Amino acid sequence: MYGKKAGDYCLPTGLLDASGCKKGPVAFSLPHFLESDKIVQQFFPRSKPDPSKHQTYLDIEPTSGTVFAARKRLQINAVCGGLPTP
């Protein structure tokens, strides 16, 4: 990011740039960077992504289409600089 304007760069897979919507460098992701590029997960070695806890869950009754249960986990990240290059 290093001083670039929103829209002048692309974040790795698994991160959604929201800096154009909010005042400040903000990116959204799944908790513990679940399903993000390996470079992101390597940058945060203490993260422990667990699909059973962190992925989106939707339980729908098949006949009527009624949603019985839903769960969406989201992590808000402050972007403080660029990611390392591999």
How confident is the model over 67-82, as pLDDT tens digits?
999 999 999 998 776 5
> Is position 83 within any domain?
no
CA distance 5 to 49: 30
* pLDDT confidence band for 86 (50 / 70 / 90): very low
How confident is the model over 11-60, as pLDDT tens digits?
888 988 887 776 778 889 999 999 999 988 898 899 999 998 999 999 99
> Is position 86 within any domain?
no
The domain total for the chain is 1
Task: Show the domain range for 41.
Answer: 16-78
> Is position 25 within any domain?
yes
> Is position 24 within any domain?
yes
Which pLDDT does position 85 carry in this prediction? 47
> Is position 10 within any domain?
no
> Is position 8 within any domain?
no
> Is position 5 within any domain?
no
Which pLDDT does position 46 carry in this prediction? 92
Task: Examine the pLDDT at 10 and tell me if it is beyond 50.
Answer: yes
Tell me the average pLDDT across 2-11.
64
> Is position 22 within any domain?
yes
Listed in sequence order, the residues at least 6 apart from 84 whose beta carbon sits closer than 8 Å to its beta carbon are 39, 42, 43
Query: Looking at beta carbons, which pairs linking 15-21 to residues 24 or more positions away fall under 8 Å?
Result: 15/40, 15/77, 19/79
